[in-house]
Amino acid sequence: MPLVTSKEMFKKAYEGGYAIGAFNVNNMEIIQGITEAAKEENAPLILQVSAGARKYANHTYLMKLVEAAIIETGLPICLHLDHGDTFELCKSCIDGGFTSVMIDGSHHSFEDNIALTRQVVDYAHAKGVTVEGELGRLAGIEDAVNVSAEDASYTNPAQVQEFVERTGVDSLAIAIGTSHGAYKFKPGQKPQLRFDILEEVEKRLPGFPIVLHGASSVIPEYVETINKYGGKMPDAIGIPEDMLRKAASMAVCKINIDS
């Protein structure tokens, strides 16, 4: 079975009211662990690679590891570029065999974001590759993405329809209160997501796949174990699983897991 795109995955997920797990990978052990768990659950899977992970592990090695995972598991797997920030990076991944890319132009103006995203979409679609765009900015740190709380912004639902129509993206990452990294909420702060924004986006883009970045659930027992044996992860808080299930029952078809 060859690598697949996310298009058919998202269609089934939307209709079924569930989301696909998209896991960041950068070495053999992580790829083995994730794909073996997915095989146990007979679950479709997105493996995603950041620019930093691609530089660290080497494009060719990553491709061969993912190909091996497909042979070993027989699962439908999509290989996705996470947070591509330039046309050149996206093009390199597309030419190198990735079946999906994200172009993150959220740090640009609305018009510049559209222009950059459209450029990537035109090239990717000609090669049969799907594209994820982004509107709104998540706070937190992940790989080369570093956004302060002051610079973060929720997605404006009034912009999503125009953005999708003018860019032609296949899915859209939005900001509703998740954040990159293991520290998603302040100590004592009750986890909250802006489901009102998600609901409004769903109304304006019926049937369209939405993506949540920074959506890892940080398991408290694991944090306790890490701290007990010399690690330092004080106050690490993730997204509660009930919130992720609610998001998946709405328009969210892809949930990113890295922390």
Q: Is 85 a catalytic residue?
A: no
- What pLDDT score was predicted for residue 192? 83
**By the 8 A CB rule, do 107 and 131 touch?**
no
Q: Of 33-42, 89-98, 232-241, which gets the smallest average pLDDT?
A: 232-241
**What integer is the mean pLDDT of 12-31?**
97
Confidence of residue 220 (pLDDT cuts 50, 70, 90): confident
- What pLDDT score was predicted for residue 222? 81
Confidence of residue 216 (pLDDT cuts 50, 70, 90): confident
- Mean pLDDT score across all residues of the chain: 90
- Match 């190909």 to its residue by tokens: 67
- What pLDDT score was predicted for residue 215? 82
- Is a pLDDT exceeding 90 seen at residue 239? no
Higher-pLDDT residue of 230, 149: 230
- What pLDDT score was predicted for residue 181? 58
- What pLDDT score was predicted for residue 186? 58
Question: pLDDT tens digits for 27-55?
Answer: 999 999 999 999 999 999 999 999 999 99
- What pLDDT score was predicted for residue 20? 98
Q: Residue 130's beta-bridge partner residues? A: 100
**What integer is the mean pLDDT of 104-129?**
98
- What pLDDT score was predicted for residue 87? 99
As to burial, measured by CB atoms within 10 angstroms (0-12 exposed, 13-18 middle, 19+ buried), residue 153 is middle
The active-site residue out of 82, 85, 143, 258 is 82
**What integer is the mean pLDDT of 3-31?**
97
Model's pTM, two decimal places?
0.89
- Is a pLDDT exceeding 90 seen at residue 185? no
- Is a pLDDT exceeding 70 seen at residue 86? yes
- What pLDDT score was predicted for residue 145? 53
- What pLDDT score was predicted for residue 214? 85
- Is a pLDDT exceeding 70 seen at residue 143? no
Q: Which domains does the chain have, with CATH numbers?
A: 80-257 (3.20.20.70)
- What pLDDT score was predicted for residue 259? 63
Residues in the chain: 259
- Is a pLDDT exceeding 70 seen at residue 139? no
